[in-house]
Structure 1
């Protein structure tokens, strides 16, 4: 006798709308702030990073380690929170989606080795990004060693960097 498939609990229409109204406005505001203020500031700073210091640390060091270590670490933490927590719960429970997890569209509950595979696949992005971060530690160190500013280059007056304030 065949068993009827078991489905995970779905979000209601009202819950989906509430989640969208909670997540979308801050995400759009962050995107707008990045486009209007952060990216122009970063472009101006990176042009003269060799000759600048931030807290006693050369700007090129801050820029390289921020790009090759900080950014992958940030994305690894985000991937760990968004994908890793449900993946870990799925590995512990032996079913995917884990008990108590709501889904947006109809999703069959999977058990056994497939659930283990799905749970492990959800942990993979955070692990890969941590690997990129470890590689970035060494790559940034090599780049910093090669990027020594000459005194003549820094003797020229530096252009003003736009500040992170409202236009």
Structure 2
């Protein structure tokens, strides 16, 4: 269901917005800057949140139980339980793994300023007809 909705509505909308980003000013900001910030900062943060939701509780429980996989953690095949410093390293990796995505988002926030803001040869007549080429959301 998600694949169908994305193919039918989300991806056409993103493609349309990317082609006409210079014509839009969402929330009073330049449309191209919104596009750059969403790609370079928003996407890594979103992925980091998704990663953290699924991995941080496992890492914390592993640190508390001093073993990995933690007690009560379901595994798909017979798995050797790791204890000592190796369990601590694995648990810390699960706990702080989302920080990698945060680091990429911080790095991306500094890179956005060097991205092109205004096109050199942009045909602004596209802006006048931007709403005409908008993908329709009424067709089911």
Q: TM-score w.r.t. structure 1 length? A: 0.71
Work out which of the residue numbers 46, 50, 55 in structure 2 matches 1:83.
55
Match of 1:154 in 2: 124
Q: Residue by residue, what CA displacement relative to the aligned partner does 1:34-85 show, whole Å, maximum 9, x if unpaired?
A: 2221111101110110121112222111111111111000100111111222
Q: How many pairs does the alignment contain?
A: 137
For 1:62-77, list aligned pairs within 5 A: 62-77=34-49
Q: Give yes or no for the alignment of 1:138 onto 2:97.
A: no
- Change over 3 Å in CA distance of 1:108–1:164 after alignment to 2: farther
- Deviation (angstroms), 1:149: 5.2
Is the 2:32–2:117 contact (alpha carbons within 8 Å) kept by the matching residues of 1? yes
Please provide the CA RMSD for this pair: 2.2
Is the 1:51–1:149 contact (alpha carbons within 8 Å) kept by the matching residues of 2? no
- Deviation (angstroms), 1:97: 1.2
* Structure 1: gaps of 5 or more residues: 1-28
- Change over 3 Å in CA distance of 1:165–1:139 after alignment to 2: farther
Whose radius of gyration is greater, 1 or 2?
A: 1
CA distance in 1, matches of 2:100, 2:32: 26
CA distance in 2, matches of 1:165, 1:104: 44
Q: TM-score w.r.t. structure 2 length? A: 0.83
Is the 2:33–2:117 contact (alpha carbons within 8 Å) kept by the matching residues of 1? no
